Structure 1
């Protein structure tokens, strides 16, 4: 099985870290490679960023189709370009939001999403409405740290724990979802901290949820439905 990770940013400073994280979640027989964008933004934290990144994402989707990969993970919790990508590749494609939240819905009644900045919240609320799950989202919270500032692991875990504890004790969340694929390698420790505080609540890592979801789709032999994701009509285009 071959999974391609599209890191939807320009610059390759994070690519080795992301590739290693995905490989840790993947099965031993799964090949993982990763690419970045030739045009786009340094991170996606707004609708504007997402719009600028979309052409670069679709360029990489076209290359993934040419390379006959088995599945594609667009490594961003905002699911940028995911639905457009499904129209042009015969392989399962996910971002971070859909697999993480749908996994969380099987683990508890109300889901609490903890993301990076207030700018991101309208995007995530829009996704919740699209997937018709807004009534199961108990809360969406921020830690006020930009994507490119998440390398401070201690501060990241401190702020995640503060928001998670408050969401759980206030009855707003039965499951915690990390709302940024840049929150790498902290889900297990956050879950342990919550358990130590008497809160046995699962914490869903969006990268892990995406990778294992894609592996399951490939093993099931399923790809995007062509009654939902119809191929785009032929016409002149300049992207």
Structure 2
């Protein structure tokens, strides 16, 4: 009997709360006939990816982990997509999905202009750079920060701030799709969507869905 395919979803920060939020958000994608989905955290990583230095600091540990792991596909569950291309090299041809890349690509299919709920002003700078590098800045309405750390985002107390940020993107920036800019925000997607009456993209779900498709279609 052939081995069941496995997708390893890596939270590059060390927050247990963020990792648990990611794991819960992926429940609808755990299909009996689909790949196994395992969520883990980089225990030696920072508590949150708050700066470019934080993002850069996890690149080599992520690459080393992926190189030695036998998973069939990987998802980097941080909206900075830290070390995405380095990790892809380490994976040796196995699929590696970045949640920012796939979250933004999904947003392009759901409306004309997307906005991003960011953690902080520093996060906004990285998002602006990434959107420009992807060549999709013409569809980018902007980002609004909630001034929080990644570990804070899974808390129910964060929901009103996320809703306010999403409403601001719609009202003041003209966004017709909103992307959650941190994996820890996953549990709030539906509540934000219902409150702002616009589609809301949870990027880890999107990246894992693409990884599932890649594995299911691999030998078709």
Normalised to the residue count of structure 2, the TM-score between the two structures is: 0.89
* Residues 12, 62 of structure 2: 8 Å contact kept: yes
Q: Give the structure, 1 or 2, with the largest relative contact order (CA under 8 Å, sep 6 or more).
A: 2
1:209 aligns with 2:206: yes
Given candidates 163, 170, 173, the residue that maps to 2:172 is 170
Given candidates 64, 70, 77, the residue that maps to 1:59 is 64
| CA distance in structure 1 between the aligned counterparts of 2:193 and 2:15, rounded to whole angstroms | 32
Given candidates 174, 181, 184, the residue that maps to 2:183 is 181
| CA distance in structure 1 between the aligned counterparts of 2:102 and 2:162, rounded to whole angstroms | 20
Q: How many residue pairs were aligned?
A: 213
CA deviation string 1:47-82 (max 9, x = no partner): 010111111111111122xx1x22101110110111
1:101 aligns with 2:98: no
* Higher normalized helix content (fraction of residues): 2
1:119 — aligned with what? 122
1:145 — aligned with what? 148
- How big is the alpha-carbon RMSD for the aligned residues of Structure 1 and Structure 2? 1.9
Deviation >6 Å, runs of 4+ = none
| CA distance in structure 1 between the aligned counterparts of 2:160 and 2:127, rounded to whole angstroms | 23
Query: In terms of Rg, which structure is larger?
Result: 1
* Residues 163, 196 of structure 2: 8 Å contact kept: yes
1:191 — aligned with what? 193
5+ residue gaps in structure 1? 196-200, 223-239
Q: Pick closer, same or farther for the CA change 1:14–1:148 going to 2, 3 Å.
A: closer
Normalised to the residue count of structure 1, the TM-score between the two structures is: 0.82
CA deviation string 1:145-165 (max 9, x = no partner): 111112332x32211211222
Given candidates 5, 8, 12, the residue that maps to 1:8 is 12
